[in-house]
Amino acid sequence: MVNVEIGEFTFLIPEQLQFNFEIASKNTLLEGAELRIKTVSGRLKCMDCGNEGEAETDESLPPQIAMFAPMKCPKCGSSNTVITGGKDFVISSIEAEVSTSQ
């Protein structure tokens, strides 16, 4: 089992990541391994009001567009924001069974 954490702002789609993992792991020690994906919320800092916290998706936009829309501050509505989290892609752990038979 391979556990990964992907940030919201990596714009990686879990289904695509799963598909690519299956292809890349063929004929390797990881063939048949389960890939567990945890999505980490994006974080923003507003340069206007100083608020820092989780990014909020604009529910009025279709999901395919919302991910690329400017991120607005949930407190004051400003688009003058900086991404402070959610850009990482981390392999958090790999669990494996080891055969002791010879």
pLDDT given for residue 68 in this prediction:
63
pLDDT given for residue 66 in this prediction:
67
Q: Closest Cα partner for 45 from 73, 11, 22?
A: 73
β-strands 35-40, 2-7 pairing: parallel
Say whether pTM exceeds 0.75: no
Distance CA 7, CA 85 (A): 8
Distance CA 13, CA 8 (A): 9
Q: Closest Cα partner for 42 from 74, 3, 4?
A: 74
Per-residue pLDDT of the chain (102 residues; tens, 9 = 90+): 999 999 988 888 899 999 999 999 999 989 999 999 999 988 999 999 999 998 877 777 776 676 666 688 889 989 899 999 999 999 999 988 877 766
Q: Closest Cα partner for 42 from 77, 4, 11?
A: 11
